[in-house]
Amino acid sequence: MASRLKDSAGSGRPFPRSGTWGQPGRVECSIVFGGVFTLLATVWLAQKYEQVWTSWQGEVSEVIFVDPHTVNITRLESAVELGAVCLDGSPPAYYLDRGFGKGADNWLIHFEGGGWCRTAEECLNRAFTQLGSSRYMADEIYMGGILSSDPAVNRDFYDWNRVRFKYCDGGSFFGEVEEVVTVKQSLKNRYSERSAPVYYRGMRIWKAVMNDLLSKGMANAKQGFLTGCSAGGLASFLHCDLFKDLMPEGAKVKCMSDAGFFLHIPDISGAPTIETFYRDVVKLQNITPNLPKECTSSRDPAHCFFATYLLPLIKTPFFVLNPGYDNWQFYNVLVPGKADPAGEWEGCKKNLSHCTENQKTTVQGFRTELLKQLDNLVNEVSENPGNGAFINSCYAHCQLELDWSFSGNDGPKIEGKSIGQAVGEWYKGVKSQTLIDCPFPCNPTCSS
């Protein structure tokens, strides 16, 4: 079977298939053929994958191996005249795998992740990658995990209409700036500069793609499920009730975030790194007018970009999937490079088993704070008793998009239950699902 491998700062660093959860592993493959078959296989593989490199506080890579069942991209050209465009002005895009049978009238929309850009220069950099332009997106991909069409992988949603919503605005699909900003940038190691227009139109992208999907059958949906990974997981919090409002009256609608619960905490030096970062994003992309008034009327708008303040306001049933030890947050929120100039945390961040006793206390404190901020949800005393959670003790980031981590026999489990099983039972209402793992390193399934 074809596989999809992804290692990324914002779009979701996957679990290692070898090694331990304390040490993000390497996925290494080798295909050996004899004689002429080696050459033929090499040529075939070269034609069958696309590798894209971009960056946001780290290196992002995406390798897509084409599966016999691939899904073609839809670049929504009609959105351009509405101003609903990616950072570079190209049309927004998505991959739609049509539902069939009993799932033909059900829709699952999944926001892709990929971090954010806080300055015009950072956004310009993204405009030359798939995180800011549909020109760099693959024409066809294999969709795994909760987007898979294989019932052995995705037993509850395999026959639904499944949409992978490509992320190209840098603001969790929530920005709105009418003005087109021309950005100039000096190129490193070159005696030149580049200049290009940059568009901040995330909310328009959301509306344009939703309208297109409504015209393709979503207007008659019987069930809807909005999900997302990382920055896309934050987008699920931001757009959940908006999605519910688009669905037909009487439709069953729920939402979920995968690794989108970014903690509102200072870094180890005491600096408000992530808060300052979000404040810059919110200001740059004029996000404040789109944030819930119930939040911005009493808080700094930057705070209202955190899930901890959004979740209590969401009326639609919501499921939070998050690792108790989010490795992306460890690198970018808890211990960013500037907070550790001597590099004392490098070993700990690479492998939690290598943490000092003091570092272990900080690491466990991160999980404690996550559970504290999720307290109303976890204890089911929120205004929405239909909420749920799956908080494992793995050192990981996104967990929905890979077959094995979503539902594989060797994937992470809590009380013997896989992520796919827990999410499916929660969505169907079989029973309440609030699964909280024991502290690291107690869970052996986190070392698969």
Cα 398 from Cα 321, distance rounded (Å): 9
Contacts of 342 (CB under 8 A, 6+ apart): none
Q: How many CB atoms lie within 10 A of CB 373?
A: 19
Q: What is the 3-state secondary structure of 55-102?
A: ECCCEEEEEEECCCCCEEEEECHHHHHHCCCCCCCCCCEEEEECCCHH
Helix (H, G, I), strand (E, B) or coil at 419: helix
d(CA 107, CA 223): 6
CA–CA distance, 243 with 226 (Å, rounded to integer): 7
Do residues 236 and 227 make contact, with C-beta atoms less than 8 angstroms apart? Answer: yes
Residue 153: CB atoms within 10 Å: 21
Structure tokens belonging to residue 123:
């956004």
Tokens of residue 210, six digits: 């939703």
Residues 223 and 350: their CA atoms lie apart, in Å, by: 41
Q: Tell me the Cα Rg of the chain.
A: 21
In eight-state DSSP terms, residue 288 is: G
Residues marked active site are found at 230, 326, 397
Contact by Cβ (8 Å): 112, 167:
yes
